Amino acid sequence: MRGEVFARYAHLKKPVQLFKNHKVVGNALITTGKKSFVKIKFEDGSLISLGPDGKIALSQKQESKPRLVELLKGKMRGIVDPKGKPKAGYEHKMYIKTRSASIGIRGTDFLLVYNDQNHITSNITLKGDVHLYKNEDQDIHESLREELDGKKKINFDQGEELDNIADNLKHHHVEKIPKGHFSGAFPSYDKSSKPVHISLHQLYALGKNSDMGNQSKGRVLKGNYTVAMNKGKNSYLIPEPYGEDINTDKKRQHKTGVKPGGHVDLNSGIYVAPPENARYDEKAGLYIMPDDLGGIDPETGNYVAPEGIRLDPLNGFVVADRTYGDRNIKENLKKIKNLTGDFNERLDQALKIFKHISRFDLLAIGNYRYSTNIMENYYGEWTNITNVPSMVWDFKGLAGFQLFHNKRYLWYPKAHLFALYHERALPEVKRNNTYEGMLGLEFHRKHTLFGKKARFIVDMEFRTQYMDWRKRNLFDFYTEDSGFRFSEVFQFNRNHRTEAYYQIRAFQGYLDNNHGNIHNLGFNHRYVIGAKYDLLGGFEYSQRREKLTNDHFDIWNGYLKAVRKDLFWRTDLTFGYTYQTHDSDKNIPFDIARYYKLDLQLNKRLNNFWKLNALYEFSRQRAKGATLTKSFIQQTWGGGLTMVF
């Protein structure tokens, strides 16, 4: 060690200063000063060096499980002996987590950086290989809100996270980072960046700097040439920050076409890529960085920005004497004001920034469809109104807000508006024009089940629907209901996600005797089959019972969907089949019906928030009894736009 190093324990109020040969007993948080570093040796001989201004959480080893370390801030170097096998049931000998990534180590020498301002995790492999998985943005944002609402309580024991991290590293988005290569986990990117070979100058210097020091003798290794850079320097940063002088390179943004031979800034985690007119070294197979983009300190391996410029973790290259505050609302609003590019690029970037600083979620859907038969659906009960076609507009907006969110609990108020409009002027068609409003509140209790993350959700909703069912060109009260839905969301492993639920709803319909209760019981399951396919399936039993007449209506519903992801550029294809049986004890000439539906959907992702949709549906119901109103065939074609924020 060098300088001041401290350990915090859960049972002690004050941190303990560490000295050489100190033995860490129990779960602990290790921090280093701005000019300090420490080497930590484990029982199996593995070694971790934590650099200046760093913070890691150590969990005591469990005999049947690998070691887990959390890097909370700074840079660390790890050396894990490749001899020996991982623990039974695990693929790695050591696991490391950051807010934005899960890392698996088998036996290697590596350098890991996590910046707590931009939440970038970057890895450089010096020997062997490292597996890196970029956490989903939803999980990154949730962890930030949990920390804020939980008053930044420290979780000293990371052991409960081990199985979830091990599952993450079985995902098809995991990148294997070989010797000499860099890969990073960047918020707002779908997955980790593709590994790219870094500059030989930096690789060699990092190999020698085992104590993670920042001290240097003032020399800088450069390419000894300059280029005429006709773009802002920020356009060569991976990831590219928001702000001034931005020229978005879509190839880089999607992590293809990134040139090898660049430098990794060990403070921000940003990769400085060679420009398009950089020299190419045929022998090394790498581009040589020009002096315009800085160089490498040969003593430490640290990146050195061009003279008079520094690399800010949030704003990229800035004038050296220019300072920025921490990530806050004021700074982010300033970034929105300074965005450049065409309208779509500016809109996408602005939404990313607003999404980061807010707790607001929005789902907006607009579709325009052609249907061969217009039908009414009353709590799942289909009734044929006409045998004529119509064009249909439908709009839906669902908004929610994470009011309170810590490690265990989430309070989530929400609301939605829905509108359905038929262009056909016939009264029998127009009677189905609909407006619906909903107010609700969700309560989430986060816990573990089968050793994996799980969530128990109580969902309370009140909704009212208005229709022109009296054919008076007026929107009359049609139905209203209030309900409680209890669900458990869990997973057996990374590729399986299951939801089991029960819901009870008290409803009142448009007729005086139309009130009672609805009970729904079911489950939904998603199975991820590698990088290209998902399989979705589910079942629900629903019973609607009217109190005054004691009539009831039962629906048994099952569905199966297959998703082909990225069939072509950013486009998913979904094929689904639904089968239902409807059984009635109502005072109508209707006994039982069988309903089935085939649907085909194409969803093209335009960017991070917008999707184009196209769909085709064929549905049919065969009924015994009232065949004129209960038996039908319907086909629907259409498309629209979806915003998921």
Q: What is the pLDDT of residues 204-248, one digit of tens each?
A: 999 888 777 666 667 899 988 988 776 678 888 998 876 443 333
Q: Looking at per-residue confidence, does 210 or 500 come out higher?
A: 500
Residue 328: what pLDDT? 54
CATH architecture label of 5-197: Sandwich (2.60)
Give the separation between CA 124 and CA 114, rounded to whole angstroms.
12
pLDDT digit string, tens, across residues 63-94: 788 888 999 999 999 999 888 888 888 899 99
Length of the chain: 645
Quick one: average pLDDT of 104-113? Answer: 93
In the chain, CATH 2.40.160.40 sits at 359-644
Would you say 114 and 121 are in contact if contact means Cβ atoms under 8 Å apart? yes
Longest CA–CA span in the chain (Å) reads 93
Burial of 259-282, coded b for 16+ CB within 10 Å and e otherwise, reads bbbbbbbbbbbbbbbbbeebeeee
Alpha carbon 78 to its chain's center: 28
Does residue 181 register a pLDDT over 50? Answer: yes
Helix/strand/coil for 471: coil
Tokens describing residue 233: 């320097």
Query: What are the backbone angles phi and psi of residue 402, rounded to the nearest 5°?
Result: -85, 90
Does residue 331 register a pLDDT over 70? Answer: no
Does residue 348 register a pLDDT over 70? Answer: no
Q: Considering only CA atoms, which of 489, 487, 488, 525 is closest in space to residue 504? A: 487
Quick one: average pLDDT of 153-177? Answer: 80
3-state secondary structure 502-530: EEEEEEECCCCCCEEEEEEEEEEEEEEEC
Would you say 514 and 553 are in contact if contact means Cβ atoms under 8 Å apart? no
Does residue 615 register a pLDDT over 70? Answer: yes
Quick one: average pLDDT of 255-265? Answer: 82
In the chain, CATH 2.60.120.1440 sits at 5-197
Give the separation between CA 523 and CA 641, rounded to whole angstroms.
28
Does residue 327 register a pLDDT over 50? Answer: no
Which of 80-89, 99-108, 455-464 is least confident? 80-89
Does residue 178 register a pLDDT over 90? Answer: yes
Q: Considering only CA atoms, which of 581, 590, 617, 588 is closest in space to residue 601? A: 617
CATH architecture label of 359-644: Beta Barrel (2.40)
429-433: long-range contacts at Cβ-Cβ below 8 A with a sequence spacing of 24 or more? 429/374, 429/385, 429/386, 429/388, 429/390, 430/468, 430/471, 430/473, 431/376, 431/385, 431/467, 431/468, 431/469, 431/470, 431/471, 432/374, 432/375, 432/376, 432/385, 432/467, 432/468, 433/467, 433/468, 433/475
Give the separation between CA 480 and CA 469, rounded to whole angstroms.
15
Residue 252: what pLDDT? 35
- HSE toward the beta carbon, residue 345, CA cutoff 13 A: 14
Give the separation between CA 501 and CA 489, rounded to whole angstroms.
9
Quick one: average pLDDT of 540-553? Answer: 89
Residue 548: what pLDDT? 82
Residue 254: what pLDDT? 34
Would you say 540 and 522 are in contact if contact means Cβ atoms under 8 Å apart? yes
What type of residue sits at position 516?
A: G
Quick one: average pLDDT of 452-478? Answer: 90
Could you give the dihedral angle defined by the CA atoms of residues 66, 67, 68 and 74, in that order, rounded to the nearest 10 degrees?
-140
pLDDT digit string, tens, across residues 521-533: 999 999 999 889 9
Single pTM value for the model: 0.79
